[in-house]
Chains A and B, each alone.
Chain A
Amino acid sequence: MTGWHLDDDALRRYVERTDSLAEGTSAEQHLLSCEPCRARVNAAASVIDPSVIDPSVIDFAAVWDRTRDAVEAPRPSVFERLLRGAGLPAHEARLVAVASAFRAVWLTGVVAVLGFAALAAAVGHARGVWLFLAVAPIVPCLVVASSYDPWMDPALEPELVTPYPALRLVLLRTIAVLALALPAVLLFGLVVPGETAFAWLLPAVGFVAVVLAASTWVSPLRAAITVSSAWFALVWLLAARSGSPDAIIQGRAQAGFLVLAAGSFGVFILRRRQLRQLRPWR
């Protein structure tokens, strides 16, 4: 407590923030130890017309909010910034990027498996090509399934009862995954000799569509694992019987994968309402 008090003019200038820096600092020092003056400041501040406050003066509430945002609000990941750069609105880029499929560990595993298969195809003999053909088409569908399987995305239940359409969420994640996975597989395909380098593309698209359609009945991951197993079995059978990947590479087979993709996508769209009951793998 001090012996003097702020006079009315000084108090008004302090509240309206029209005082000088020195005067304001002095007033502030005094207010720290003077309860009656603090009460007068509060009373004056509660009736003050906001329009008289100098707009150039810092809005401390806004500064505090921005400071808290800087500490608390999540920073966009590299992938999220890429999506924004590609034109996706900020909020949708965030929704896509949080999918579990974008976890670094998972992606590293996928890249490692693909790299191994591509290397085997490049330096090995026919078996290496078979290995690439067996692995490359199933990578996109496994990554897509893991981006929205309730087992991989444990927050799916609260997510699915929000107004945001489940179909849009699943498709956005699918497209984002494909945008990431397809170029990666293509890149690895460059080291694979002959037509095999691209023969996996249509089967991959077909399998993604099959997984989307099947996940309206069963868990997305279960669907992806079943599709992958069936594909492995088919590739193994072809390799054992003919020893040549022509059966997959030839036009008729490729057209079949296209039909599979279109048909499955049609089923998925027709059954999209079932997406709210996505079943977890376990």
Chain B
Amino acid sequence: MPTASISLRDVGRTFGATRALAGVDLDLEPGVIGLLGPNGAGKTTLLRLLATALPPSQGKVSVLGLDPEVPAERTGIRRQLGYQPQEVGFPRGFTAFAFVDYIALLKEWTEPAARHAEVRRVLGLVGLADLGAKRIRAMSGGQRRRVALAQALLGSPAVLILDEPTTGVDPEQRVVLRTVLAEIARTSIVVLSTHQTEDVAALCERVIVLDRGRVRYDGPVTDLTGQAAGRVWLADEPDPAATVSWRTGTGRYRNVGARVRDDVEHVEPSLEDAYLLLRGGAAEHEPAGEAAS
């Protein structure tokens, strides 16, 4: 068994009668791990479990060798944790600097000069060095996401949990953020959920696909993309044999189908093709009994 910094064994989580996660076994090591899945697949629940914001209903979670269910060990985890929730609200009237400074206080940065320097560092990392004094309410959606990311980066955490960090962030800034996260992932475990497969393809070595609370795929991004080889083709019309097809900018249709075809004009598959193929297969073969959150 590999030596993992984070491990989950048969982890499940229910909310009342709704099963959000079931039978999840994972070992996570330093690097960027992408979490893909449709809405309600259990991505946010899994991230909240890893971030110690939520206990599992069953199974065992271990983060950096510590047990989040033991209060002292949970505090130990939190000292090495950065977490950007899916939706971060900001107290009214706060500037970017004031908000990150406030979270830094909670993260035990009590000495003002060191804390302010750290706040400036993380705001600089997310490209907001000159907007520290700007009120968050006056910021764009993308800038607010970056403020939320900045607070997660405080203290260069060993575990960084990011729930849709690039939503609403413009392309240039996404590239900057990818660079920052790739650098952090040299020594830290970065787990990020996203709906943007291009972020996963550009940044992650490993991808986990969740569906209805279960792990549908866990492995290298290249292996998942490879699964779509020979299954993506262009045609002048939508192909009835395809699982999904859509009109591209050239006016032709990109078709993704479960069966390998020889008689068509193949194109290089993308991670999105492979993901859609996986999802399409899941929708066809899966019993509809389990609910998810």
Contacts and interface: CB of A to CB of B under 8 A. Distances in A.
A159 B106 CA distance: 7
Interface in B59-108: 71, 75, 78-79, 81, 83-85, 88-92, 94-95, 97-99, 101-103, 105-108
Contacts of B101: 73-74
A277 interface: yes
A74 B79 contact: no
- Report which residue of B81, B88, B106 has the largest number of chain A beta carbons within 10 angstroms of its beta carbon: B106
- Report which residue of A69, A94, A155 has the largest number of chain B beta carbons within 10 angstroms of its beta carbon: A155
B110 A91 contact: yes
Interface in A168-225: 169
Contact of A72 (B51, B91, B132): B132
Contacts of B85: 157-158
B176 interface: no
B151 interface: yes
A127 interface: no
B260 interface: no
Interface string B35-63: 00000000000000001111100000000
Nearest to A71: B133
A163 interface: yes
Interface in A116-149: none
A98 B92 CA distance: 9
A154 B148 CA distance: 12
Q: How large is the interface on A (under 10, 10 to 19, 20 to 34, 35 or more residues)?
A: 20 to 34
A74 B89 contact: no
A136 to B, nearest CB: 27
Nearest to B80: A163
Contact of A74 (B54, B92, B95, B108): B95
A65 B121 CA distance: 12
A18 interface: no
Given A65-B117, A69-B116, A155-B90, A94 B78 contact: no
Nearest to A277: B54
A73 B54 contact: no
B54 A155 contact: no
A276 interface: yes
B72 to A, nearest CB: 11
B97 A153 contact: no
Nearest to A99: B91
Contact of B98 (A74, A157, A163): A74
Interface string A91-105: 100110010100100
Contact of A95 (B53, B106, B120): B106
A82 to B, nearest CB: 18
Contacts of A155: 88-91, 99, 102-103
B97 A72 contact: yes
- Report which residue of B51, B55, B105 has the largest number of chain A beta carbons within 10 angstroms of its beta carbon: B105
A94 B106 CA distance: 10
A60 interface: no
A107 B86 CA distance: 30
A18 B127 CA distance: 38
Nearest to A68: B120
Nearest to B132: A72
B53 to A, nearest CB: 5
Given A65-B113, A72-B133, A73-B101, A164 B106 contact: yes
A17 B238 CA distance: 76
A239 interface: no
Contact of B105 (A65, A71, A95, A161): A95
A160 interface: yes
Contacts of A160: 53
B84 A163 contact: no
A273 interface: yes
A72 B102 contact: no
A161 B81 contact: yes
Contacts of B83: 157-158, 161
A153 B106 CA distance: 15
B108 A94 contact: no
A155 B152 CA distance: 12
B105 A100 contact: no
A56 interface: no
A148 to B, nearest CB: 12
A162 interface: yes
Interface string B141-166: 00000001001100000000000000
12 contacts: A65-B117, A71-B132, A73-B116, A74-B101, A90-B112, A95-B105, A98-B102, A157-B88, A162-B78, A163-B108, A273-B71, A276-B52
Interface of A: 65, 68-69, 71-74, 89-91, 94-95, 98, 100, 103, 153-155, 157-165, 169, 273, 276-277
Interface of B: 51-55, 71, 75, 78-79, 81, 83-85, 88-92, 94-95, 97-99, 101-103, 105-108, 110, 112-113, 116-117, 120, 132-133, 148, 151-152
Given A90-B112, A158-B148, 19 more contacts: A71-B132, A72-B95, A94-B102, A95-B102, A154-B90, A155-B91, A158-B83, A160-B53, A161-B51, A161-B53, A161-B81, A162-B106, A162-B108, A163-B78, A164-B105, A164-B107, A164-B108, A169-B106, A273-B71
